[in-house]
Amino acid sequence: MALVVQKFGGTSVGSVERIQAVAQRVMQTVAAGNQVAVVVSAMGKTTDGLVKLANQISETPSRREMDMLLSTGEQVSIALLSMALQAAGQDALSLTGAQVGIVTEADHTRARILNIRTERIQRHLNDGKVVVVAGFQGISQRIDIDFEITTLGRGGSDTSAVALAAALGADKCEIYTDVPGILTTDPRLVPEAHLIKAITCDEMLELASLGAKVLHPRAVEIARNYGIPLVVRSSWVADPGTHVVAPSRQPKSLEGLELVHPVDAIEFDLDQAKVALLRIPDRPGIAARLFGELADQDLNVDLVIQSIHEGNTNDIAFTVLEANFAKAEAVAAAIAPVLRGDTADSSQAEVFVDRQVAKISIAGAGMIGRPGVAAQMFSTLAEAAVNIQMISTSEVKVSCTIDSSDCDRAISALCNAFQVTCSPLRDASQKSLSPVPEVRGAALDQKQAQIAIRHVPDRPGMAARIFALLAKAGISVDMIIQSQRCRMIGTVATRDIAFTVAQAEAAQAKATVAGIADEMGCGDIVVNDAIAKVSVVGIGMINTPGVAARMFEALAQQRINIQMIATSEIKISCLVAEDDGVRALKAVHDAFKLYGTEKVVVPA
């Protein structure tokens, strides 16, 4: 007998008729010989309505009372669904988050799950009952305070469901929603988007964090860490949906369920060489031309970064395998005069190479939503007197290039800092999906702002101070780019550092770094909130030359200028002007043939 956890969102239980339809679907799963636990959200727009009521009472309602208020929405849903099941002849019981034993931090409105006490729910399941659990909520437990009702924040019901599946050792967790599954992109922006039949947890983490709202990143993080197979399906039809493939399940303690070590591996690669083109023209098509030439030579690039522009020029740097260095350098040297065009002079399009580099990375799904992880990496390297040359970030990895002579010292320092004693082998199941397209999906984030700090002194510890301060302020940073061009300000060598944050946090982020910029000897701080980030994600790009070139060419054909570039092994992200965002998404979606033959219908 299999144990299945099913989660139904607010739209799925938005009316009496829909609740009755959910009851029938649950009973079908029971009839197939399964034990079933169901996690539900509040009905329809109930939570929004409760928030509106609170704001009518107080402009700044207390977070504790908000938890007391918002937790009532799910209680209505679980009671009604239990009644519907009972009326249809299925024994069922509803439990709140507290009753089911979901223990959280004492952090109102954004608590993380510490543990789930499964004795009660397991007893009811063994008695043949369907247990209907309130998502989004739990109860805190601290010795020095009384029990408190807490909520988990946005996406809390997804998180509750996958955490419950992990605690129960469920065979799978099914997430029912109002779309057929995970789509190649947002169908409201690109009607040609189509269903992805299978996707790895790492790919899903990237897409979820880029704004694919079908699954919350915290839920995917738990699935990845505990090996929980996920299925995302439509509430309205019986189609198979999307399978989110998790690594093989390994024995792991449930204590501190959402507070596991954020980093589970320290990775390094000494077989790297860096090529940088400095002061190349800042116009559409430049990146496409460069990486198109590299792709024509069957050269696979690893990290790619393009920093913020200065005047009419920009810098692009990339790394390749040491064995490919000579060919990559030759391509860069040959194309530099072409890129200079009519502006040729000794100060334009300089090629800079370095064969003495190593890439070192921290990896782990626990980095999501934890601003201090990257800052801790930078601080650790600074304390070890290791200077950072390039930075590339993603949801599951932060990578830096450093001098190869510093690699052993960096590994030792990072292992100590993140308490990593060994780096697990990457599970083969993450790469076993067949076929494996180079790009699985595309995403657009139109709610970011770019902040650039000019002329940061080029010495160990500078990035660490900046990002530690942002982390202390609770500001999550997305893309981080350190320029390749080194500028002399007096006798001090400097580089620019740029990063992106949520638009809502841009003013706070600027004020935060302004507090130490003068002390550090930095230049101006520039904010640009008229940007959009377009990204492509796919594990197939790891061994496929030319993916970056195809993306850049698609943007160039639309005359869209790229303002920043950052990559990881499975993601390429470009910043473009806000007005170009949707056009850029459509261009890259089409370039990688992500369109389908069937139109996806999205409920209003």
CA-to-CA dists, residue 523 to 1, 211, 389, 449, 454, angstroms: 65, 33, 19, 19, 5
Length in residues, the chain: 604
Sign of CA dihedral 327, 328, 334, 335: positive
Tens digits of residue pLDDT in 49-82: 999 999 999 999 999 999 999 999 999 999 999 9
CA-to-CA dists, residue 491 to 350, 417, 488, 494, 528, angstroms: 22, 34, 6, 10, 30
- Residue 305 pairs in a beta bridge with 317, 566
- Report whether 555 contacts 288 (CB < 8 A): yes
Q: What residues contact residue 85 under an 8 Å CB cut-off, 6+ apart? A: 23, 26, 27, 91, 92, 130, 132
A 10 A CB-CB count for 236 gives 18
When the pLDDT of each residue in the chain is averaged and rounded to a whole number, the result is 88
Residue 604 has pLDDT above 50, yes or no: no
**What distance in Å separates the CA atoms of residue 294 and residue 569, rounded to the nearest whole number?**
17
- Report whether 250 contacts 272 (CB < 8 A): no
CA dihedral 470, 475, 477, 478 (to 10 degrees): 180
Residue 94 has pLDDT above 60, yes or no: yes
Using alpha carbons, select from 352, 356, 346 the residue that is nearest to residue 328. 352
- Residue 497 pairs in a beta bridge with 453, 482
Residue 595 has pLDDT above 80, yes or no: yes
Tens digits of residue pLDDT in 155-193: 899 999 999 999 999 999 999 998 899 999 988 899 999
Tens digits of residue pLDDT in 519-536: 888 989 999 999 999 999
What SS3 state is found at 111? coil
CB-based burial, 325-361: b 16+ in 10 Å, e otherwise:
beebbebbeebbeebeeeeeeeebbebeebeebbbbb
In the predicted model, what is the mean pLDDT of residues 101-114?
A: 91
**What distance in Å separates the CA atoms of residue 409 and residue 403, rounded to the nearest whole number?**
11
Tens digits of residue pLDDT in 482-511: 877 777 888 888 888 999 999 999 999 999
Binning pLDDT at 50, 70 and 90, where does residue 412 land? very high
In the predicted model, what is the mean pLDDT of residues 352-369?
A: 84
**What distance in Å separates the CA atoms of residue 541 and residue 570, rounded to the nearest whole number?**
6
More confident residue, 310 or 158: 158
Q: What is the pLDDT of residue 305?
A: 86
**What distance in Å separates the CA atoms of residue 390 and residue 371, rounded to the nearest whole number?**
19
Cis peptide preceding 371, ω within 30 of 0: no
Binning pLDDT at 50, 70 and 90, where does residue 25 land? very high
Using alpha carbons, select from 456, 458, 261, 190 the residue that is nearest to residue 466. 456
Q: What is the pLDDT of residue 106?
A: 87
**pTM (two decimals):** 0.87
**What distance in Å separates the CA atoms of residue 356 and residue 359, rounded to the nearest whole number?**
10
Tens digits of residue pLDDT in 222-280: 998 899 999 999 988 888 899 999 888 877 888 888 877 788 889 999 999 999 888 88
Q: What is the pLDDT of residue 384?
A: 94
Binning pLDDT at 50, 70 and 90, where does residue 577 land? very high
Q: What is the pLDDT of residue 569?
A: 85
Residue identified by tokens 């650790």 is: 380
Q: What is the pLDDT of residue 543?
A: 81
Binning pLDDT at 50, 70 and 90, where does residue 369 land? low
**What distance in Å separates the CA atoms of residue 439 and residue 441, rounded to the nearest whole number?**
6
In the predicted model, what is the mean pLDDT of residues 322-348?
A: 77
Binning pLDDT at 50, 70 and 90, where does residue 386 land? very high
- Report whether 81 contacts 93 (CB < 8 A): no
CA-to-CA dists, residue 437 to 180, 244, 303, angstroms: 20, 15, 20
Using alpha carbons, select from 429, 389, 425 the residue that is nearest to residue 407. 389
- Residue 266 pairs in a beta bridge with 362
Q: What residues contact residue 188 under an 8 Å CB cut-off, 6+ apart? A: 602
Q: What is the pLDDT of residue 144?
A: 56
Q: What is the pLDDT of residue 428?
A: 44
Binning pLDDT at 50, 70 and 90, where does residue 409 land? very high
More confident residue, 368 or 35: 35
Q: What is the pLDDT of residue 597?
A: 53
Binning pLDDT at 50, 70 and 90, where does residue 429 land? very low
Residue 432 has pLDDT above 80, yes or no: no
* Helix, strand, coil shares, percent, the chain, to 5: 35, 30, 35
Q: Write out the two tokens for 518.
A: 């003068």
- Report whether 27 contacts 128 (CB < 8 A): no
Which H helix or E strand runs over 212?
none
Q: CA-based diameter of the chain, in Å?
A: 83
In the predicted model, what is the mean pLDDT of residues 123-129?
A: 97
Residue 310 has pLDDT above 50, yes or no: yes
Q: What is the pLDDT of residue 313?
A: 79
